[in-house]
Amino acid sequence: MKITMTSSQRFIHPYLPQTETQIETMLESIGVSTISELFSSIPEKLRLTRKLNLPPTHSEQETLSIVKKALRKNKTVDEISSFLGAGIYQHFIPTVIQTLLSRSEFYTAYTPYAPEISQGMLQALWEYQSLIAEITKLDLVNSSMYDMATALGEAALMCTRVTRKEIFLVPSYLQPEKFQTLLTYTQGAGISIKTYPFDKETGKADLYAISELTKSHKNQISGIYIENPNFWGIIEEGVQEIGKITHDLKGIFVIGFDPISLGILKSPGDYGADIAIGEGQSIGLPMNFGGPLLGIFAVKNDRKLSRAVPGRIIGITTEVKSANRAFTMTLQTREQHIRREKATSNICTNNALCALASTIYLSLLGPIGLERLAELCMSRTTYLLEELHSIDGIKSPYFSGVPFKEFIFQLNSKFSSNDLEIFLQNNNIQGGLSLQPYFPELKQCFLTAVTETTKISDIDQFTQKIREFILEHGG
């Protein structure tokens, strides 16, 4: 759509409100006759003269049909029976969340720099901090990071910032994405990442190896990281001891947690965590092909630690002239807009709306809901594990440690795990993540997740298909 005018050819579009007459008036007020004069400060030889190779303008109707056509090529987890987890999980999202997140007063706002006009988001984020503080039993929570992988990177940086030591100890059995992100994040600060192994029998942290490692690097360890449940889905029973080892070294004890597991497991703060990080996707966010997610970052309230925390923090205070409650961003002297090159992190835009989703989620579920959800996940996981256990040709569980909502099973070497994957896919099942490409020692092993959205009938169907596969392939 184009109309020709005396001074210019105006492009008419619903997002561009100025009319031709208004443009004329505005140009006159500026003292120029064309819009292109306003761009005269761009050196002539740099100005684009050709048309860029971009799509043409589309109407709303056309745009919608193009997007739909593309997205239709995707197969959603609603159409597949999916047992994929390994960091991102399919949990049910109560309808209330989407409804409240679509309040545009929330989602079309910027970071609450002008607090008086942004109390709603500030209070919601303070409540987010409060809910996370409650489930982790750590008082100081920032108002979000991008995801758990970057939260781990920031935690490692924080450990070195506080202790001035340079070795950060992590499990060798981290989610590969997270491990790679950690390696990137720690390069600039010259931090050395050392790994400790798991016990080959139980799948839990090898405590002996940890204590040997700490002996050989006695005064260099900034912190020790452990996940509970760990990447194999197993509950780490040595956490308390590892916390003690860390504190004896004057290191910082960092826990990675699954928020849902805290419905039945003790909180990181209960067993000595100085920092706890988590992935908030499982509490109220769609999987979204892996983003946006929610990096949870909680810290023990201690002066030395609180000054080293990355990210935005909301505090509760009052109006200047009354005792009325008010919320505001606080402890900002740690942040990039004030401290610049000395800031604790460069993070500016975070994942506030995702934090809001989790706030609503935890408010809806309450203490009983979260407990029951954790119990459901754990019991159905046990069910799948037991069902697979009864199949000849499958080792389930692969490790003897107790799993929470995922575990590893192994296919006997008589069969090809590739064939199994194809067989399952043909039967519309994504049976889990094949671990061998990332951990070569875990031959023919699959990491399989079960949540409350996994129906008993899905589990039965899954195990039935595995039985069929084994029969067909000469079991």
Partner 1 sequence: MFKQTTWEKSLIFELSIPGRIGYEVAELSDKEKSLLSQSKQRIHPDLMRKKRLDLPEVSELSVVRHFTRLSQMNYGVDTGFYPLGSCTMKYNPKICDFVTTFPEAQNIHPYQDPSTVQGSLQIMFKLAKWLAELSGMSKVTLQPAAGAHGEYTGIMIVRKYHESQGNLEKKTEIIIPDSAHGTNPATATMCGFKTVIIPSNEDGCVDLEALRSAVTDRTAGMMLTNPNTLGIFEQNIEDIIKIIHDVDGLAYYDGANFNAIMGKVRPGDMGFDIVHFNLHKTFATPHGGGGPGAGPVGVITRLEPFLPVPTVDFDPDTQTYFFQYDHPFSIGKVRSYFGNFSIILRAFTYILRLGNEGLKAVSEMAVLNANYMKSLCQTIKGFSVPYGKDSFCMHEFVLSSKQILRDTNISALDISKFIIDRGFHPPTVYFPLIVPEALMIEPTETEPKKMLDDFIQILKDISRLVYSDQEEERNQILEAPCNTSVRRIDDVKAARNPILSYRMLKQQEE
Ligand X SMILES: Cc1ncc(COP(=O)(O)O)c(C=O)c1O
For the beta carbon of residue 242, count every other beta carbon within 10 angstroms.
25
Binding region for partner 1 (CB under 8 A) out of 88-96, 213-221, 437-445, 458-466? 88-96
CB of 31 to partner 1, least distance (A): 7
Task: Write the CA distances from 364 to 1, 88, 106, 238, integer angstroms.
Answer: 49, 21, 19, 33
Q: Which DSSP letter does residue 307 get? A: T
Query: What does the angle CA 118 – CA 122 – CA 128 come to, to the nearest 5 degrees?
Result: 155
Applying CB under 6 A, the site for ligand X has a residue count of 2
- Peptide bond just before 397 cis, omega within 30 deg: yes
DSSP codes of every residue in 81-107: EE---TT-------HHHHHHHT-HHHH
- DSSP letter string, 196-252: E-B-TTT-SB-HHHHHHHHHHTGGGEEEEEEEES-TTSB--TTHHHHHHHHHHTT-E
Residue 475 interaction partner, one of ligand X, partner 1, none, beta carbon < 5-8 Å per kind: none
Query: Which of 49, 349, 426, 457 is close enough to bind ligand X by CB under 6 A?
Result: 349
Nearer to ligand X, 347 or 429 (CB): 347
Choice from 144, 163, 448, 463 touching partner 1 (CB under 8 A): 144
Find the binding residues for partner 1 in span 388-447 (CB under 8 A): 402-403, 425, 430, 433
Binding of residue 340 to ligand X (CB under 6 A): no
- Give the residue, chosen from 3, 201, 219, 289, that forms a contact with partner 1 under the rule CB under 8 A: 289
Closest distance of CB 346 from partner 1, Å: 4
Q: Which of 164, 200, 218, 340 binds partner 1 (CB under 8 A)?
A: 340
Q: Under the criterion CB under 8 A, does residue 94 sit at the interface with partner 1?
A: yes
Token representation of residue 289: 């092909």
Strand extents, DSSP E, 12-66: none
Residue 200 contacts partner 1 per CB under 8 A? no
CA neighbor of 468 nearest in space, from 406, 393, 401: 393
Of 106 and 439, the one with the shorter C-beta distance to ligand X is 106
Residue 189 in the binding site for partner 1 (CB under 8 A) = yes
- Cβ 353 to ligand X, closest distance in Å? 14
56: exposed, middle or buried (C-beta count within 10 Å: 0-12, 13-18, 19+)?
exposed
In the complex, least distance from residue 220 CB atom to partner 1, rounded to whole angstroms: 19
Please say which residue, 42 or 348, places its beta carbon nearer to ligand X.
348
Query: Which residues would be at the binding site for ligand X (CB under 6 A)?
Result: 348-349
